[in-house]
Structure 1
Amino acid sequence: MRALGGLWRWRHNPLRRATDLAEAWLALVALLLMAVAAPVTGWLVGRAAQDSLQRSARQQQHARHLVTATVVRELGGTLPEADPESSSARESHSRVLAYWRAPDGTRRHGPVLADLKSPHPGDHFRLWTDPRGRMTTRPLDSATATAHAALAGLGAA
């Protein structure tokens, strides 16, 4: 609002310099950009991110499968492939050697993080795999995609 006052004040003032008028106009343009362009830019970026992330979430939910794995033996330690979305993944999971059936029917095995406090051979747990049976992280859900899109729009604005 000060920009409008600056323009009005310098309108017919005999002491007005060209730089005073330019400064007032620049302040008005900056105010308009902050009030209009920033929210529009944020909305456009957020909308584009929302579309892209929701499409990615749908693809992941279609391509990733939750399968049941069986513990062969405990390995001890942790794996670096812990789900980054879970803050306590390393603390609440045990490193085990396990086997599971891939969605295509092939039998797979390997070291994984099981959500078991004290795993024993034969214990069952669930893990996410791709269509070929390779371990992967859980798919992105719709709410997380929306939150990420909102943050992208806010950051752009």
Structure 2
Amino acid sequence: MALRGPKVWLWRWRRNPLKRRGDRVEAWVVLGVWMLTVFTGLLAGTTVSRSVEDGLARERAEWRPLVARLAERAPGAAPANGRVSRTETVWATARWTAADGSGHSGQLRVPAGSAVGAPVTVWTDPEGRQVTRPVTESQACVRASLIGGAAGLCAAAVPWVAGRSLRGRLERRRIDQWDAEWARFGPMWGRTTG
């Protein structure tokens, strides 16, 4: 690792008679890598975020609730107070008819002790298959932002890692050049005239 002095802003772009060609190349590499990293991250993040948000909006538009009827009595006893909490629901088989007239059945969460034929809401896709309840607009926005942010970070990591690797190679090459020059001129400094 090279010896580094105090941090000076934009030192790569300042005029210096000791600056070598390798220093200028490294300056452009650093600038290019940062620009590519930011551009790649933003492009991937916004693209994925829009895609996720569009998919969730399509689900909200296409998925519809239908009334299903229980095909069997739900296990357990109905609560005495009539209020059903999430912990007092059980899985039971229900049947429903899709918009195209085809019959479907599936497992749904229903209140414990529900009778056969009790109505239950089931969310279905256009083909009548059972799906989960679609997310709200605000939930979709949060989900799209999180997924887009993660995708942007992952995509931005690729040029950043490649740039770090290239910069490391340039730095090793510069150190090797310094070693070669030191080996050539270093012994001259120890000689005395006289």
Q: TM-score range by the shorter chain?
A: 0.5 to 0.7
Partner of 1:112: 107
Asked if 1:96 is matched to 2:92, the reply is yes
* Alpha-carbon separation, structure 2, partners of 1:30 and 1:137: 49
CA contact (8 A) 1:74 1:94 kept: no
Map of 1:63 onto structure 2: 62
Post-superposition offset of 1:43? 1.2
- The answer (yes or no) to whether the contact 2:72–2:92 under 8 Å persists in 1 is yes
* Runs of 4+ that moved beyond 6 A: none
Of all paired residues, the percent bearing the same amino acid is 23
Conserved 8 A contact 1:96-1:113:
yes
Query: How far is the alpha carbon of 1:140 from its aligned partner?
Result: 5.2
Q: Check the 8 A contact 1:65/1:103 in 2, yes or no.
A: no
Correspondence 1:130 to 2:125: yes
Gaps of 5+ in 2: 1-6, 76-85, 157-194
Q: Partner residue of 2:37?
A: 38
Query: Any gaps of 5 or more consecutive residues in structure 1?
Result: 77-88
Tell me how far 1:100 sits from its aligned partner. Answer: 1.9
Query: How far does the alpha carbon of each residue in 1:71-123 deviate from its partner, in whole angstroms, 9 at most, with x for none?
Result: 221587xxxxxxxxxxxx9x88633111223233x263423131x35142343
Looking at secondary structure, tell me which structure has more helix per residue: 2
Q: Is the 8 A contact 1:72 1:97 kept in 2?
A: yes
Q: Secondary structure at the match of 1:127?
A: strand
- Per the alignment, in what secondary structure is the counterpart of residue 96 of structure 2? strand
Aligned ranges for residues 138-157 of structure 1 at < 5 Å?
A: 138-139=133-134, 141=136, 142-143=140-141, 144-157=143-156
Alpha-carbon separation, structure 2, partners of 1:98 and 1:54 = 31
Give the counterpart letter for 1:111 in structure 2.
Answer: G
Amino acid paired to 1:41: T
Contact 1:46 1:151 in 2 (8 A): yes
Give the whole-Å Cα distance in 2 for the aligned partners of 1:108 and 1:31: 62
Q: Any idea what SS the aligned residue of 2:130 has?
A: coil
The structure with the larger Rg is 2
Partner of 1:70: helix, strand, or coil? strand
